[in-house]
Amino acid sequence: MIDKQRADSLSDEQRLEALAERLSDIITLLGEDPQRQGLLKTPLRSAKALMYLTSGYRKDPSAVIRSAMFDHEGSQVVTVRDIEFYSLCEHHILPFFGKVSIAYIPDGKIVGLSKLARIVDIFARRLQVQERLTAQICRYVMEALGAKGVLVKCTAEHLCMKMRGVEKQDSSTVTFDCLGTISIDAALRTQILSML
C-alpha cells in the first residue's frame, strides 16, 4: 500500500511503473494471465492511459489563465458553448463525458476563449462527479477573472449507468451552477440559460 504523501514524491516514470505493476495484479485477480501475448503490454498501456486521464491533478489552472488574461471594457456576457470533455467517475472509475457551456459577465478582464476549454479539461481529467466538476469550473472562472457573474452548464452521459447497474442507455444528466449577479438575478439567469 502506498500513501498519498509517498505517491506525490514519485517521478512520473516511477508512478507509471508502480501503476503498471498494480494493473498486472488486477488482470491476474480478474482471472487472466498478464503474460499472455495479447496482454503483455496492457499494464503499461493502461497505466499511461490512466496517467493521461487524470492529468488534471498535475496541472495548474492559474498558469493557464494567467497566460491569456486581457483588460476589456464592455461585453455584457461572454459565452463558450459545447466544450466537450471526458472524465472518470470517482465511484466506479468508469468514463463519463459530455459538453460544458460557460457564460460569464466580465468586470474589466476577459480570458482567451481556448483557455476556458483548457480549464474544463484540467478539472475533468480527475476522478470526479459531474456536480463537483460543474461547481469547480464555475468557482474557478469566477475567482480567476474576478467576473461579475458566472454560469456553467454541464450535460453528460455516464457509463456507470449505461454499462452496469441500471443499464439505461439513453439517460443523460444536466447540472448547472452559477455565482455572482447571475445567481441573484433570475431574469438574467433565464436569459443566459436560453443562450446556452
Give the pLDDT confidence of 56-65 residue by residue, as tens digits: 999 999 999 9
Q: Which of the pair, 4 or 80, is modelled with greater confidence? A: 80
Helix axes 42-53, 12-29, angle to 10 degrees: 120
pTM metric for this prediction: 0.92
Distance CA 120, CA 191 (A): 23
pLDDT in tens, 20-61: 999 999 999 999 999 999 999 999 999 999 999 999 999 999
pLDDT confidence band for 75 (50 / 70 / 90) = confident
What is the distance between the alpha carbons of residues 28 and 48, in angstroms, rounded to a whole number?
A: 19
The CATH number assigned to the domain holding 73 equals 3.30.1130.10
Catalytic residue list: 89-92, 130, 158, 160
Cell of 150: 458566472
The C-alpha atoms of residue 103 and residue 45 are separated, in whole angstroms, by: 37
* 97 burial type by CB count under 10 A (0-12 exposed, 13-18 middle, 19+ buried): middle
- Domain of residue 13 covers 4-53
* Number of domains the chain is built from: 2
Outline where the chain has alpha helix (H): 4-8, 12-29, 42-53, 61-66, 113-124, 130-145, 159-162, 181-184, 186-195
For position 21, which CATH number holds? 1.10.286.10
